[in-house]
Amino acid sequence: MLAIRRGGGYRYRPGGRVRLLAGDEVIASDPDEGREFLTRRFGWVLVDPDGDGEMELAPVAPRG
């Protein structure tokens, strides 16, 4: 994770145990192989709705 944008400010290279709050924006850079893992960690999945390779985020469906 490179940074967290919160309330107009940035917290760069957060380390240790960082608590994310509603409205936070996570700025990350990683090889493509890590995209799916990171999106799932935050409760999302990557989808390609048009089949054109352009991915979008969708919330993970609740279980049950």
Render pLDDT for 9-61 as a digit per residue (tens, 0 to 9).
999 998 888 888 999 998 888 777 888 888 888 889 999 999 998 989 999 87
Query: In this structure, are 43 and 53 located in the same domain?
Result: yes
Rounded (10°) CA dihedral 45, 50, 32, 3: -60
Query: In this structure, are 5 and 18 located in the same domain?
Result: yes
pTM value is 0.61
Q: Once rounded to an integer, what is the mean pLDDT over residues 3-12?
A: 93
Query: In this structure, are 15 and 1 located in the same domain?
Result: yes
> What pLDDT shows up at residue 6?
94
- 41: containing domain: 31-64
Query: In this structure, are 2 and 21 located in the same domain?
Result: yes
Query: In this structure, are 35 and 47 located in the same domain?
Result: yes
What one-character-per-residue DSSP string does 5-58 give? EETTEEEES--SS----TT-EEE----GGGHHHHHHHTTEEEE-TTSSS--EEE
Query: At 58, phi and psi to the nearest 5?
Result: -135, 145
How many domains would you assign to the chain?
2
